[in-house]
Each structure stands twice: as C-alpha cells, then as structure tokens.
C-alpha cells in the first residue's frame, strides 16, 4: 500500500490507550450532542498537554476570556476563526478599574469595614458599569441663574386692587387683611369673585397652582349666605363642595372655618365634612343636626345621598367641583353623574326665593388644566357656563390651543439631575443634606415617590439610627426606665392615665443635617394618622421633610415649602404641574428638582419639562457636583474622595438591610412595587418610561439589595391564589403586614401599560369601595 501523504500526530500519554468515552451520556438534538462531544474531546486533549485537535473535532462552542492562552500553532497551520468578536478596549479599562476597586475592598474587608455580600460574593460598585448620560452642552445650564422672575401668582401690587373692591362685605374684607394677612387679591380672585357674586351662571375657573382658587369660590358663597335676613344650621344645606382627596377636603374645610369664625362674622353658618376613612355613624349624627355648607369626597357623598335620609339637598344653591381633572382621573365620573341626578331630582330651589341667593343651582368647576376629561366633566355638569381665567401678564403667551402657555409659577426654579440607577439613593441623601444647610434656617421639603412601599422603605432608611455603642444603649435604657417610673408615679392616684398618642409616621432624621422631622403620607395609612401627619408637617417650626405619594400632589397649601423633590418622575404632565405647584405659592419663591435615569428618560426633558417654561427657569444639575456637595467633599480637592464617602454611606444601608430580615423584605417589596408602578405612565410617555429598559440589578442596589434580581423574593399582599398557590400580591407568612386587610396600591396594577393600567386601577378601586370602603392609595370614599 503506497504512502497517501497523510501526516498523523499521536500523543501516547499515560491514559491514551484507555477506552474512549462515548456520547451516550449526552441527550438532546444531534447538534447539541456533537457540540458536547467536541467540547469533551477538547478538554481531554488539553488536560493531557496536547493542543492538536483530531480530525472531526473543533474548538468548544464558547471559551472564557479568563482561560490561559493556547500554545502557538505551527506556522504552516492557519489559525482558526475566533468564535466570539474581540471586546472593545473600554471594556478592558473597566475590568482593570474594577480589579483595583476589588483590591481596595479586600483591604477594607480585612479591616472589618466592608462585609461580604450574599454567599461570600462582592457587592457591585456604585461607580462602575453605569450607563453614560448625554453630555452637558451649552444649551443646558449647570448652575442656577441669580436673576429672579417676577411672581406670577402673587397678590396684585397695583395699589388699586383690594378685597373691598371685589364686592364682598366689609366684615369679610377686613378679616382677610387684618387676621389672614392677605393684603390684596390675586389675579384670578380679582376676576372671578365679582362675577360669582353678581351672576347666577355656571362657571369654569382656570388658574395656575398656588393662585388662591379655594378663596375664589368660597368668598362668594359665604358672602351671599351672610346677606340672608336670618339663618341657622336648621335653615338647610346651601352649598356642596366636592374634592378628590381627603386631605384637600380637610384643607377646604379649615379655610371655610377661618372665614366663618371672624370678628363680627357669620357665626351662625355651620360647615360640615364627610370623607372616606371616617365613621359613618358620627357623620350621620352631624348631618341630622344640620349644616349649611358641606365639603365631601364623591364616594362618601354619594353613599350618604343614597342611604342617609337626614341629608336633605332640596335647598342646595351651589355645587363646586374642585380639581376637576383629578376627579376624572380617579374614575369619579360615574359617581358625579349619579350625584347630579339626585340633586336635580330633589331640588326645590325654584320654589324658594331669597333676594341674596341664586335663583338656580350654580355649578362651579375648578381646574389648573384644560384637558379633554375636564371638558367632558364640564359637559356633564355645566350649563351655559362662563369661562373665567386670570388676566394675562405681560410675559404670558398663548399656547397652540389658545390657552395661556405658562401654568407653572414664574418664580419657581426647576432643575433636573440625570443620575444612574445605582446612585439614586446616595443622590437623594445628597440633595436632602444640601437643602438642609441652605439659606433658610428651617426648610421644608417634600419628596414624591411612585408607590406606598417605596415611601415606607425610604422613610425607614432616613429615620434609622446610627450604630450605637454599648454605653449609649445602656444610657437609653436608663432613660426609658426613668420615664416609666415617672409615668407610674403620676398615676398613683388610682386613675388610669391614657397613653400619649405616638404617630408612627413621624420620626427624626437622625443621620441628616439638623436632624429634621421626617413625615410619611400615603393612602394605606389610617385616616387619623394621615390627618395628624399633615397637621404636624404644616405647623412644624423646625426643619421638616415629607415623604409621600401623589396623595399630597393636588390642591394642598403647605406653608413655606422650600423644595419639591420628584424622586420618581410623575405619571403624566399634569401630575408634574401639580407636584411642583406645592411650592412657590402666593408669590413666594420655590425650587423643584426631578431625578431622571440616563437613556430614554432624558427625552422627557424636551418633551415635557421644557414646554411652557420661561427662559432660565429650567437647569440641569451635574450629578458629581450634587453628590460632592451633599457629602461634604472639599471644593478644591482634586481626588474624588466624595466617591468613598458616598460608598461608605451606601454600604451602611446595605448592611442594615442585610442584617434585618424584616427590612430586607421591605426593601424587596419596595423594589418590586417601584417596577410595577413604572408601567403606569400615560401612553404618550411610554417611549421615555418603559419598564423593559430598566436595569433591575442596578435598581435593586438603590434599595440596598445585594442579590441578583432573579434571586429577590418580593413579598406580596393578596392571599388565596388558584389551586392553593399564593396569588400575585399574596401575603407571605412572617412578612411585614401579615394578617392585615388587603389594600389597593399602585403595585396592584401589574405589568399593564398606559391607559389600560389606569382603567384597571379604577375598576379595582371601585370594586373595593363597593365591598367595604377599604382605604386606597387614591383616597376613594
């Protein structure tokens, strides 16, 4: 037999004569079996030190970059094509930087400063692997301008505009100027109050936030009732005012009381309030005694109209729908329609003639926006209405639809910060620390979150105490025993002393500058806690912070509020307008800042934030500068030492979460709720806020979690799934809140986007109200 020219290269190793393993242990398709066989043969050849590949074999399907390089092949033999493309150099630099950071962590860990993560793994760094934001250009200012805009919602300063000139009684005008310190009416009050006093026509009132819409409709009502010859609580119910939230209803009621209880004022006028969360029995008792002006939420008002015979509405002359856009957004359209039908059926206004009262029922609709749903509400409730808006200022311009372009107060300074997900928590700490040392001695700050669980978690983060020494713990225990003995000594007379009410929604921010009082407010709190919390924040004379959901975004007048932080972006442009409208009210200065993620969310700036603002009113803050100033890094320091300070602060949070199972469950629940709430942005903004674009791992780190997203177990609320399995939202045994009644929150929406999510939310809320009036995130009932 002749030589066929084939060159064979054999390696007679120690086990080369052993029987070869077959592919009988591999299962699957023939391609998978072939790949597995080739990989096995390659590993066997490599372990024997032979790098030549036999005929029919090939390189493994995927080779790790960390493996050692192969020995050089003979030059006559061409190199095989690489199975994967080479990685870019920037990746190599990242790996190198990460290795340096890893070495640094090892040194810190040896000193006992940095604990290991779960299963001995290292925590991801705050400063590596973050997506890059668009660079700051000349179009985006990095510093706030010193030039201040003239207030657009301040009382008029022309000297000729006074409350006495509006046509109201001298008693009311004098009370407003002397007791309430209101020197002059605002533009909308100057336009609307005389109109509502002189005419009996329906009205649609539109004005920017903080311009005094509440007084605009209350002054004509109180004034015209005062002009009656005689009245009392038994004279009948003359006005009904509907508001979308309990907090706004309580605020309207308080303003109404201040007008009535003025010197030589109409003390005979009796106001009343019925809202969700209160006991119906006590509300029915008040209704039986009688009242002249009623403030209510739509769900509870409809309940009493249908089931409480003592509520007589035949003399109602005014119906006010405050925050009309919010009433529609929360799904009150059907309830309002039923209320209007009942009022029309029971009305006897035409048979009753008083000289000072309207000859027909007047409906007033108030809103800061002119959206399609507001127009629909107007079609349902208004008849031949007058449109009333504030007189345009010199700098006002008309928008595309003919409405006034500027709806945010002119003196409000807005900014935004594009910050990676991993840095969100340290960014919030930096913003708060910086705000607490600004020019105001006792600043007030409000922080908006997307869901109740996120409020609860961040409230716990910023109210936790620093790790105490043994001596400090013993001292605290001594003080507690001393207080207990003092309390016992006071009760020795045999009378049982009631324990003082301690509000669980108010705590000190022990680790923040000046240790401010931190409050939390959302729809899942009991009504008495919500009322006490809002009262504490409003009346506080020290530095205070309010963590809340959008329950506090509409209509509330929070005095001397310095800063609004939108930690989670609003769900619609109108929500943004109302959130920032909590500050810069009645001509006062105010600031607002929004957190955005790098990437698609940056498009939100041009699409929404820059619309309808004045030049210089919106600036972009640099993330490094914000964190640097917030963590007290030296201005002239070339070293980025603020990274170390921020990392240490965040590591303390991670240790705290890891060491306490109940806190870890709270963090996981907040993380899951935040992602589900992210899906509820309006459809027009889904291009900027799409949950599929979120980096769940980076987002988990901002909640102090070290596990991979697939390893995070999210506690849920609703029990009783199909086939004995826990349903989505089921309460896990032992988790926080186990055994409590189910509450409807943002996280009940699920992964449904846009308008469908809102529709599902409304249906679930209405169903819950019919079943028992459970509290909800949106204050229904």
Structure confidence by residue, pLDDT tens digits, 503-555: 999 999 988 988 899 999 998 999 889 989 999 999 898 999 999 999 888 77
Task: Provide the pLDDT confidence category of residue 30 given band limits of 50, 70 and 90.
Answer: confident
**What integer is the mean pLDDT of 318-347?**
91
The predicted structure's pLDDT at residue 554:
78
- Where is mean pLDDT largest: 76-90, 339-353, 536-550? 536-550
**What integer is the mean pLDDT of 87-111?**
48
Task: Provide the pLDDT confidence category of residue 342 given band limits of 50, 70 and 90.
Answer: very high
* HSE-up (13 A, CA, CB side) for residue 778: 25
DSSP assignment string, 503-571 = -TTEEE-TTSTT--EEEEE-TTS-HHHHHHHHHHHHH--S-EEEEE-GGGSSS---TT--EEEESS--S
What is the CATH code for 187-389?
3.40.50.300
Distance between CA atoms of residues 678 and 684, nearest Å: 14
Across the chain, mean pLDDT equals: 76
The predicted structure's pLDDT at residue 739:
37
Number of Cβ within a 10 Å radius of residue 73: 13
The predicted structure's pLDDT at residue 490:
62
| DSSP conformational letter for 398 | B
What tokens were used for 741? 């009644």
The predicted structure's pLDDT at residue 80:
45
Task: Provide the pLDDT confidence category of residue 501 given band limits of 50, 70 and 90.
Answer: confident
Higher pLDDT, 85 or 435: 435
What contacts 153, CB < 8 A, 6 or more positions away? Answer: 186, 187, 207, 208, 209, 210, 211, 212, 409, 584, 585, 586, 587
This prediction has a pTM of: 0.69
Looking at the chain, the whole-number percentage of residues with pLDDT higher than 90 is: 33
Distance between CA atoms of residues 578 and 599, nearest Å: 26
pLDDT in tens, 617-648: 789 999 999 999 998 766 666 567 888 899 99
What tokens were used for 78? 């061409």
Above 50 in pLDDT, residue 380? Answer: yes
**What integer is the mean pLDDT of 193-202?**
92
pLDDT in tens, 739-768: 333 333 333 333 333 455 555 555 555 554
What tokens were used for 181? 């310190």
The predicted structure's pLDDT at residue 90:
44
Above 70 in pLDDT, residue 684? Answer: yes
Q: Domain 412-468+502-630 - what CATH class?
A: alpha beta
Are the C-beta atoms of residues 725 and 749 closer than 8 Å to each other? Answer: no
Task: Provide the pLDDT confidence category of residue 496 given band limits of 50, 70 and 90.
Answer: low
Which regions of the chain carry the CATH code 3.40.50.300?
Answer: 187-389, 412-468+502-630
- Where is mean pLDDT largest: 279-293, 322-336, 418-432, 571-585? 418-432
Antiparallel, parallel or unpaired: β 412-418 and 590-596 = parallel
Higher pLDDT, 475 or 547: 547
Using alpha carbons only, give the angle 100, 106, 107 rounded to the nearest 5 degrees: 95
Distance between CA atoms of residues 490 and 495, nearest Å: 9
């Amino acid at each position: 037999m002749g030589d066929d020219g084939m060159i064979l290269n054999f390696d007679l190793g120690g086990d080369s004569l052993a029987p070869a393993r077959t592919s009988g242990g591999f299962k699957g398709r023939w391609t998978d079996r072939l790949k597995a066989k080739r990989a096995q043969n390659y590993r066997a050849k490599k372990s024997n030190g032979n790098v030549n590949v036999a005929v029919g074999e090939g390189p493994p399907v995927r080779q790790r970059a960390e493996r050692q390089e192969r020995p050089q092949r003979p030059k006559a033999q061409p190199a095989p094509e690489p199975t994967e493309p080479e990685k870019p150099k920037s990746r190599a630099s990242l790996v190198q930087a990460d290795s340096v950071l890893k070495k640094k962590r090892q040194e810190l860990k040896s000193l006992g400063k940095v604990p290991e993560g779960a299963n001995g793994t290292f925590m991801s760094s705050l400063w590596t692997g973050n997506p890059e934001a668009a660079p700051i250009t000349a179009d985006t200012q990095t510093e706030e301008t010193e030039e201040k805009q003239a207030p657009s919602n301040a009382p008029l300063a022309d000297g000729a505009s006074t409350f006495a000139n509006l046509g109201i009684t001298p008693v009311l005008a004098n009370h407003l100027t002397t007791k309430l310190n209101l020197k002059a009416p605002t533009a909308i009050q100057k336009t609307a109050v005389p109109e509502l006093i002189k005419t009996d026509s329906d009205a649609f009132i539109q004005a920017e936030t903080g311009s005094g819409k509440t007084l605009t409709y209350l002054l004509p009502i109180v004034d015209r009732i005062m002009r009656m010859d005689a009245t009392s609580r038994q004279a009948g119910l003359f006005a009904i005012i509907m508001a979308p939230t309990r907090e706004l209803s309580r605020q309207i009621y308080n303003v109404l009381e201040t007008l009535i209880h003025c010197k030589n004022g109409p003390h005979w006028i009796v106001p009343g309030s019925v809202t969700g969360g209160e006991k119906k029995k006590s509300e029915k008792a008040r209704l039986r005694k009688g009242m002249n002006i009623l403030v209510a939420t739509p769900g509870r008002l409809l309940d009493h109209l249908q089931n409480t015979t003592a509520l007589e509405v035949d003399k109602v002359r005014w119906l006010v729908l405050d925050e009309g856009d919010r009433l529609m957004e929360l799904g009150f359209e059907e309830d309002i329609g039923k209320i209007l039908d009942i009022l029309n059926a029971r009305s006897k206004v035409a048979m009753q003639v008083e000289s000072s009262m309207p000859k027909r029922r007047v409906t007033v609709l108030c809103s800061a926006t002119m959206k399609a749903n507001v127009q629909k509400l107007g079609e349902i409730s208004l008849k031949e209405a007058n449109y009333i808006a504030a007189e345009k200022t010199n700098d006002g311009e008309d928008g595309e639809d003919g409405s006034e372009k500027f709806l945010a107060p002119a003196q409000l300074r807005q900014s935004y910060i594009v910050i990676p997900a991993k840095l969100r928590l340290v960014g919030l700490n930096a913003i708060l620390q910086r705000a607490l040392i600004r020019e105001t001695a006792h600043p007030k700050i409000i922080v908006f979150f997307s869901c109740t669980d996120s409020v609860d978690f961040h409230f716990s983060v910023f109210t936790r105490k620093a790790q105490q020494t043994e001596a400090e713990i013993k001292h605290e225990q001594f003080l507690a025993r001393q207080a207990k003995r003092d309390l016992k000594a006071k009760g020795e007379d045999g009378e049982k002393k009631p324990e003082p009410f301690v509000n669980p929604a108010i705590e000190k921010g022990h680790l923040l500058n000046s240790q401010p009082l931190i409050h939390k407010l959302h729809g899942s709190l009991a009504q008495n806690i919500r009322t006490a919390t809002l009262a504490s924040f409003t009346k506080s004379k020290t530095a205070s912070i309010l963590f809340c959901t959008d329950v506090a975004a509409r209509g509330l007048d929070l005095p001397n509020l310095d800063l609004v932080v939108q930690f989670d972006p609003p769900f619609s442009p109108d929500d943004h307008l109302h959130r920032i409208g909590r500050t810069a009210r009645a001509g006062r200065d105010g600031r607002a800042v929004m957190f955005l993620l790098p990437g698609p969310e940056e498009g939100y700036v041009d699409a929404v934030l820059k619309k309808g603002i004045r030049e210089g009113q919106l600036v972009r803050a640099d993330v490094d500068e914000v964190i640097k100033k917030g963590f007290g890094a030296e201005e002239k320091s070339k070293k980025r030492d603020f990274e170390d300070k921020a990392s240490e602060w965040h590591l303390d949070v991670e240790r705290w979460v890891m060491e306490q199972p109940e806190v870890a469950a709270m963090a996981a629940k907040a993380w899951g709720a935040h992602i589900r709430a992210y899906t509820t942005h309006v459809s027009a903004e889904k291009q900027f806020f799409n949950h599929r674009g979120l980096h769940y791992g980076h987002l988990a780190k901002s909640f102090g979690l070290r596990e991979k997203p697939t390893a995070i177990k999210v506690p849920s609320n609703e029990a009783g799934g199909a086939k004995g399995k826990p349903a989505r939202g089921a309460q896990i045994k032992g988790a926080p809140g186990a055994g409590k009644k189910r509450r409807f929150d943002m996280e009940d929406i699920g992964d449904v986007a846009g308008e469908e999510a809102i529709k599902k939310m409304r249906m679930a809320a209405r169903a819950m109200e019919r079943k028992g009036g459970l509290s909800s995130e949106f204050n229904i009932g």
